[in-house]
Structure 1
Amino acid sequence: MPFAGQERVPPETHRRRRLTDSRCPGQSVSLLPGPKPSILHVDMDAFYASVELRDRPELRGKPVAVGGRADKRGVIAAASYEARKYGVHSAMPTAQALCLCPELVLLPADFDKYTAISQQIMGIFQRYTPLVEPLSLDEAFLDVTGCERLHGDAVTIGRALKGDVLRETGLVASVGIAPSKFLAKLASELGKPDGFKVIEAHEIRAVLDPLPVSRIFGVGERTAKRLESLGVSTVSQLASRARADVMREFGASGAWIHDLAHGIDPRRVNPRREEKSHGLERTFERDVTEREELRLVLYEFCEEVSHELRHRGLRGRTVTLKARYWNFKTVTRSKTLELPVNLGKRIYAVARELFDRLPPGPLRLLGVQLSNLTDVRAPAQASLFGGLEPRPGEVPADVAEKKLERTTQALDKLRARFGAGTVVPGSLMSRASLRVREREGEREKKDR
């Protein structure tokens, strides 16, 4: 059924007061649609695949993808534009990609190389403005407000850095320029590949109106279907609805997508974007049923995640467990702690609790993530029960925690010297070793 309000709302109703450009150095201005496009979104075209094609020119013109092997249940990380013509895309299972394109050239990922090149590219961006917000290894937002005297207007800067990237890395970037982050990203997407597109303030309606509503950031498949059931399939139709009616249907997210339909996006470019979470997950070569084996994998993940958090000087309060079953049903469970942690034993205790509550069944993927991250130097609120006297024979909580921290520091040194898998809890190790011996015995019997 349609929304209650059917009248087209005048654009003036949705205009917001424009803030004056009085930013301090190192801060981004409010990004409401204004007369000058000053936000750039730069996205490297098929980044991983393009890096490999640059280094292996004999593969140019062929369908190429970077990803895991099909027999290892791998997925595609990036596909060249030649491969995309066959329907191959990122996050697709490699086996499916090979069915769509049997002549696909599959290359392993080299993330150390991609990271080094990404740092080189971000360095090029920072020549033009300190306001660079990386979104991933291959894309970033830039705010070039106030840089005209040094480097020219946004269009001049965009063309210059696009040329610098090609000349210095041999890679092609698509550049979108607009008054806001949403519109800049949309511009780069519309211009791909090897794109350079500018959306001026007076062009916003002409660009947005004919687009499917799914092009609005935040409108996923489910939201798009709900909108279509309400008679909304284009951005123009969404923009014409009364804002209150959209909010009535979708809540706060309704206000967000309605604003974007009018080109309104107040988000600022944030060069000091904080990491929101850190985690690790793995797709197994085969479905795993044995709970002991899965607990060992989970412990290893918790140790690796905790080690990385300590390395970055972070702690996290929310532990999230992710499991995907043999039938591709995905289940997540989370628990938020009173105090942030970065010790593997503490993280594993929570993850193990969440794991033990999962329904039984073969798993094809398992993962753990920590979110609500804080700096280790940030003061932690004292526990409500921190002042209670310990029971007879019980070690005080703060003493036990300090002891665990010292033990963890010692283990970090051992792992740094002898390898990540040096230390494993005895209970898990004995079970895992027994399982390994059983499998080795089974293989020996088969070999006979």
Structure 2
Amino acid sequence: MSDIAIRVEGLSKQYRIGARRKAHNTLRDHLMSGLQSLWSRNGHQPPARNSGSVESAKPEVESTLFWALQDVSFDVKRGETVGIVGRNGAGKSTLLKLLSRITEPTSGRIEIDGRVAALLEVGTGFHNELTGRENIYLNGTILGMKRAEIPRQLDEIVAFSEVEQFLDTPVKRYSSGMTLRLAFAVAAHLNPEILIVDEVLAVGDAAFQKKCMGKMEGVAKEGRTIFFVSHNMPAVTRLCQRAILLEDGKLCRDGNSHEVVSAYLHSELGTMSAREWTDPLKAPRGEVAMLRAVRVCTSDGRSEEAFDIRKPVGLEMEYEVLKPGYKFMPSMELWNEEGVCLIDSIEYDPNWRGRVRPPGRYRSTAWIPGNYLAEGTLFVTVYLETVDPKIKQFYEKQVVAFSVVDSGEGDSARVDFAGKLRGVVRPRLDWNTVLNPENVQPERVTSEL
């Protein structure tokens, strides 16, 4: 058996946009057209249309051709977990629809070896008139499962989706959240060899997203193939060993997920560690303040994308106060690749605490000491709120990113260990080791927090 689960060669998809089809004729129009043809064949002049009638057929508008995907090729081995990243309109959802065989390619070929379960939109594959239970059996049958196999998975599906009370209710009466939970549970538990999941999980609440991520990690460990589209970069790097970057319908990068995500962030933000809004009309804003720039900087003020684990890191936010009379609370979050929030920090500057800030441009910088963060890619979220009343002015998620590198040299917390260290942070703690501790008077250690 080949170890290739999916093979894509020269895949392209073209759409015709701007075209407007002629309106459907009424029964009267069909009858009149038939009579006109009959009279014409017999040499008679067809009767004139009533001058007061409205012509139902509308002329077609000139159309243009649009390539959603162009000449995309790649192989996916069995058991691989692949993330698909790219900006809106890059072709991600089109690729998944082609892989799911929802639509046909314009050119190229796809070879798939294994059962495919796809979760592309809320309710995809569900029949609204059928109950939740009936839809589970329907989807299992579509996947090629025998009817006797499905009951063995039913209890797990119901438990995961948390819709037991409504299992025999038609799906058309489900909320979007209930439909999503059941759809994901069905796709993940009916043992497909290939699981395809689009950004649909973004509509779920945080607890459900965490539950789904845990399930997909379990599916991946079972050796099944997963295709995962998301704008959540920490989720992609956490779940996927490999990622594919699409841009304008073309495959522009394929490789290690951390490297591909780094390249995507770099291309999206201009520079991965800095972003600036030069046009005030496009800047994130509220009624009394707007965001102007975010940077990750060194101790001498340079924007930097990679930091030695021993060096301090500055998280810098520039914002503009537009109206007088308000107190502000600038804040920053730092997230790792696993979607864990490492730091949620509020500005602590005695010079401004509790004071009204006059209109003008401000720069607030939070400093993270060296030998504190762990290795990996980290993502910065910034937000600003007024105080009394508490009104959010902006909240920009994962606006910039940077990498922390531990070379193992010098005085890092790695010391002489060359393997992988666990932990979401890696502070270099003060250690004290003595020989024959029973003969040594313990030292009193004081610590200031």
Is the TM-score greater than 0.5?
A: no
TM-score by structure 1 length?
0.24
TM-score with structure 2 length normalisation?
0.24
Structure with the larger RCO, 1 or 2 (CA within 8 Å, 6+ apart): 1
Structure with the higher fraction of residues in strand conformation: 2
Larger helix share, 1 or 2: 1
